[in-house]
Structure 1
Amino acid sequence: MSFGEVPAYRVQTLNTLAFPKGQVPRCEMTGLPARVQCITPHITLYFVSKECAKQAWYGIMHKIAPLLGPLRTPCLVVGTEEDRAKREYTMEMSKKALVDLCSQEAEKFLVERQYDLAIPGALQAVTFLREIYGDGAIEMIGPFMQLAEAHLGLGRAREAAEVLGRATWTVSKNPDCSNSMKSQLHRNIGKLHLSQNKLDEALAELSHDIYFSSLEMGPEHIETSVGYYHIASVFYAQHKIENALAFYDKVVDIWYRFLLAARRDTNLVDSVSESQLSQAGDMLDHVLRTRAKLLGDTHIATGEAKYTVGLLHLVANNVEKARDAIQAALATYIDHLGPDHPSTKHIQDTHDACPLPKAPPGQVIAFGDDADDADAAGDTLHGHTFGAIDAHFPSQMPRAATQSPIPLVPEGAGL
């Protein structure tokens, strides 16, 4: 078996009888006794199956294999104490650089929704961090969260729960853990509960997420909006539609204000990662579809969501989609408020200022319907299918009142 167009990398069955009893190599991914070996010019890697080897290769190993050989080869020359110190320092810095590379690759695949390919990089980052700092190091929380998100994306609740359990233990061992890390931990636990239909537990965890995110970055920050979005999804699953719409309103309000500010200050755009833009696109597109479904496609709140989606497409350099979304919003505002209303004029000015040339290849960030057609087809989130909503709303139902749903810290929120 060869990988892609590089025949030098091949996988073949491992002869386990060639190893002393109890010394069969372990799989790089699972830790189980290996059954195949991946032979490269730099190092031989061991895996439990050919499928596992292929997943690891395309996920991260093709980039770090040339560096693993020197890192794993024992040094035969003892040298002086100073030489040993320099060698240990070089090894540690090399592993830290590999942690950064592995985490970046895992994050890239998470953004692209290639969850199976995100796992190898996150696992390797955990391995290197354990070698550098030992078990329980706070630096391992980031890769743990990447692993949890990947497993949730693949619908693997058991594996996600295991990873989140390790992350919870790590946080408990580090009282100086940042509020941002605590927020991410509670968010992923909440998403896990949501996927298991444990809606009350999900609501409790997500309230912790919002609390810690608000402490770290503020209740109106775009990162905090993710917690509001997931709480809205829980309320939607509970058929508490007005509550869900109110929290969806909060998500739109936060991103609307941020995107308007970003049009005036381009430095704000540089502060947002590709992952955040992709996630925002998913959230706003889902809010748009939900408002269109419950309030009607021509409702003013649906038009507001279209305009916000259009602004996000502008920031992400999806020019054609931006013009389409803003034009659709403009038609709604003209119909409801008239062409001379200040809000209508504002949208008209934005539409007129949209650039006409297509975005250069490689600079467009995909999100929304193109990135997640399955979500558009049915109301699902991390494997949880929401029940059908039987409520019927009048065509001119007023938009749910915007609120700042910041809960008080629950008892025992030290974690």
Structure 2
Amino acid sequence: GKPALVSLVSPFLSIHFASRELATHAWEGVIRKVAHVLGPLLTPPPLASSEEERHRRFEGVQATKRALIAMCRDEAARHVVQGRYELAIPAAAYALRFGTSIYGEGRVELVPALLMLAEANLGLLHYGEAESYLTKANWVLLKTANCSNALRSQLRRNFGKLYASQGRYEEALRQLADDVYYSSLMVGPEHIDTSGGYFQLGNVFFAMNRVENALAMYDKVVDIWYKCLASVLAAKADGPAPMLSEAKGSEGIEMLSQILKRREECVGETNLATGESSYILGLLHQYFGEVQQAQARMHAALGIYENRLGAEHHSTMDVAKSLEQLQGAAEPVA
């Protein structure tokens, strides 16, 4: 590799990089959160006095590595969802590095890190690197019996995004159809995890100028998220409820925001479908306590519903009630 010109120094460790940019990406991407765990792993251990102590120390190191892998994967996923792809790469690379040290080369346990590296490189438009990681992941899954449908789904989704970005639309559609199939086997066709596949299918159809097909896929995504949010918000009001992760919520906001823009372009800013998108996006902001964004989206939706359906229509009244509850919750208690 390139010569190390920059040193990243913390109380827990010192690491050398070829450039300040790489050092900054690594620090911001993952090291600042895991330095306290990473430092001891990179420091040569003292000599053990007995076989029992060596075994105990080995087991402790392996457990630490597994915890570090989970932390790195979480950070990489968070950066990818936020579009900070250059920060996701070092986090995923550490997950791959320590996964390889535990499990060895070519093991299925490495596939999540390979997929994360592929997705980050796709985001940076580094198609060659992305395809290389996807090919490695695909080879591992091909030779692994009974691997999870979740991994198969993620692999197909990333291949679909790669082919779409290269203008290979028919191949992208086949990969994304497989993605939806495997995700449906895993969690069902109406699950928010599966909605990402429908969304990518919609994007490919839109790129092919098959607008009706694209809008049909977007309708499916919106419907899935509405049912999910109606369920979790109702459960949240009644007490402890199943949680939407920050990463999944960010993914939902990104998808629904893009669908809102597409609906505005294709059917108009005052169309009922546009109002529906705005309302559901408002519900998702509400779930995560983002009150101002939620109010703005619901106000826009209410105006469209009142104009299209009238103030007394049950759908309009549902939006008005949601907005009223949101405003009531936002008002300070005297």
TM-score where L is the length of structure 2: 0.91
Q: Give me the whole-angstrom Cα distance separating, in 1, the residues matched to 2:175 and 2:212.
A: 21
Q: 1:125 to 1:330 in 2, by over 3 A?
A: same
Give matches, 1:164-179, under 5 Å. 164-179=134-149
Aligned residues: 329
Corresponding position: 1:100 with 2:70: yes
Provide, for residues 238-260 of structure 1, a one-character-per-residue CA deviation record: whole Å limited to 9, x for no partner: 11111111111101111111111
Note if contact 2:149-2:185 (Cα within 8 Å) is conserved in structure 1: yes
Note if contact 2:232-2:242 (Cα within 8 Å) is conserved in structure 1: no
Q: Give me the whole-angstrom Cα distance separating, in 2, the residues matched to 1:354 and 1:311.
A: 10
Note if contact 1:232-1:248 (Cα within 8 Å) is conserved in structure 2: yes
Aligned match of 1:182? 152
Provide, for residues 255-297 of structure 1, a one-character-per-residue CA deviation record: whole Å limited to 9, x for no partner: 1111111221127964321111111111111111111111111
Corresponding position: 1:210 with 2:180: yes
Aligned match of 1:296? 268
Q: Give me the whole-angstrom Cα distance separating, in 2, the residues matched to 1:302 and 1:77.
A: 66
Displacement of 1:357 after TM fit? 6.2
Note if contact 1:269-1:315 (Cα within 8 Å) is conserved in structure 2: no
Aligned match of 1:263? 233
Aligned match of 1:328? 300
Corresponding position: 1:250 with 2:220: yes
- The SS at the match of 2:60 is helix
Q: 1:84 aligns with which of 21, 40, 54?
A: 54
Q: Give me the whole-angstrom Cα distance separating, in 1, the residues matched to 2:148 and 2:189.
A: 16
- The SS at the match of 2:49 is coil
Q: Give me the whole-angstrom Cα distance separating, in 1, the residues matched to 2:82 and 2:272.
A: 32
Q: Give me the whole-angstrom Cα distance separating, in 2, the residues matched to 1:68 and 1:314.
A: 37
Q: 1:343 to 1:116 in 2, by over 3 A?
A: same
Q: 1:224 to 1:91 in 2, by over 3 A?
A: same
Corresponding position: 1:192 with 2:162: yes
Note if contact 1:306-1:325 (Cα within 8 Å) is conserved in structure 2: yes
Q: 1:318 aligns with which of 290, 295, 304?
A: 290
Displacement of 1:183 after TM fit? 0.4
Displacement of 1:76 after TM fit? 5.3
Q: 2:279 aligns with which of 291, 302, 307?
A: 307
- The SS at the match of 2:327 is coil
Q: 1:162 aligns with which of 116, 132, 147?
A: 132
Give matches, 1:234-249, under 5 Å. 234-249=204-219
Q: Give me the whole-angstrom Cα distance separating, in 2, the residues matched to 1:159 and 1:356.
A: 50
Q: Give me the whole-angstrom Cα distance separating, in 2, the residues matched to 1:277 and 1:338.
A: 31
Aligned match of 2:5? 36
Corresponding position: 1:130 with 2:130: no
Provide, for residues 6-28 of structure 1, a one-character-per-residue CA deviation record: whole Å limited to 9, x for no partner: xxxxxxxxxxxxxxxxxxxxxxx
Note if contact 1:319-1:356 (Cα within 8 Å) is conserved in structure 2: no
Q: Give me the whole-angstrom Cα distance separating, in 1, the residues matched to 2:64 and 2:158.
A: 30
Q: Which amino acid letter does the alignment assign opposite residue 79 of structure 1?
A: S
Q: 1:286 aligns with which of 230, 251, 258?
A: 258
Aligned match of 2:326? 354
Q: Which has the higher helix share?
A: 2
Does 1 or 2 have the higher relative contact order (CA < 8 Å, sep 6+)? Answer: 1
Provide, for residues 96-138 of structure 1, a one-character-per-residue CA deviation record: whole Å limited to 9, x for no partner: 1211222222223223322111111110111001001111222
Q: Give me the whole-angstrom Cα distance separating, in 1, the residues matched to 2:3 and 2:284.
A: 47
- The SS at the match of 1:135 is coil
Q: 1:67 to 1:296 in 2, by over 3 A?
A: closer
Q: Which amino acid letter does the alignment assign opposite residue 164 of structure 1?
A: L
Displacement of 1:42 after TM fit? 4.5
Note if contact 2:152-2:179 (Cα within 8 Å) is conserved in structure 1: yes
Seq. identity, %: 40
Q: Give me the whole-angstrom Cα distance separating, in 2, the residues matched to 1:43 and 1:279.
A: 34
Displacement of 1:47 after TM fit? 2.6
Note if contact 2:72-2:95 (Cα within 8 Å) is conserved in structure 1: yes
Q: Which runs of 5+ in 1 are unaligned?
A: 1-31, 361-415
Q: 1:359 to 1:141 in 2, by over 3 A?
A: farther
Q: Give me the whole-angstrom Cα distance separating, in 1, the residues matched to 2:45 and 2:265.
A: 65
Q: Which amino acid letter does the alignment assign opposite residue 241 of structure 1?
A: V
Displacement of 1:61 after TM fit? 2.8
Note if contact 1:136-1:173 (Cα within 8 Å) is conserved in structure 2: no
Query: For the pair shown, which has the larger CA radius of gyration, 1 or 2?
Result: 1
Q: Which amino acid letter does the alignment assign opposite residue 311 of structure 2?
A: P
TM-score where L is the length of structure 1: 0.74
Note if contact 1:37-1:44 (Cα within 8 Å) is conserved in structure 2: no
Give matches, 1:114-129, under 5 Å. 114-129=84-99
